[in-house]
Amino acid sequence: MEKLTLNTTLVRKQVAFETGPCVVEKVEAVSHAEFENLRMNALKDNDIIRRNKGCMFYGADNSFHCLLVYDNDQGDGLLIEAEGYNYARLEQYIPQAKQIYEDFCQSQQLEQDETEDESMDMSM
């Protein structure tokens, strides 16, 4: 029987896991090679980050506004906030980011379809 495998980092003796809102402002699907280059060189300047650094910031709403870059072939991703730089100043590895994003898009489409159906019912 095959077992579930997650790509992640385990932290030793973590006191607590503090989380906060991270708003995905833009999503970039990249090749496996591009993703691996970004993943293994997160502190180096990167064209993907440079092109998208305008959508990454810490907002007045106390949220990090981020770029999600995912491996189009394997599905894992990186959530990045560059703080105006050309490299990943803040990042988190997101297993199955592609599936998470596709599920989100599908749920948004379903909500939009339901809203349109309700609007049509009310106009009749």
**Tens digits of residue pLDDT in 50-65:** 999 999 999 999 999 9
Q: Domain boundaries in the chain?
A: 22-123
Tell me the pTM. Answer: 0.85
Q: Which two tokens stand for residue 66?
A: 């981020």
Interatomic CA distance for residues 72 and 27, integer angstroms:
11
User: At residue 4, does pLDDT exceed 90?
Assistant: no
Query: Which tens digits make up the pLDDT trace of 11-51?
Result: 889 898 889 999 999 999 999 999 999 999 999 999 999 99
Interatomic CA distance for residues 95 and 77, integer angstroms:
6
Query: Which H or E run includes 62?
Result: none
Nearest to 71 by CA among 106, 31, 43: 31
Q: What is the mean pLDDT of the chain?
A: 91
What does DSSP assign to residue 37?
H
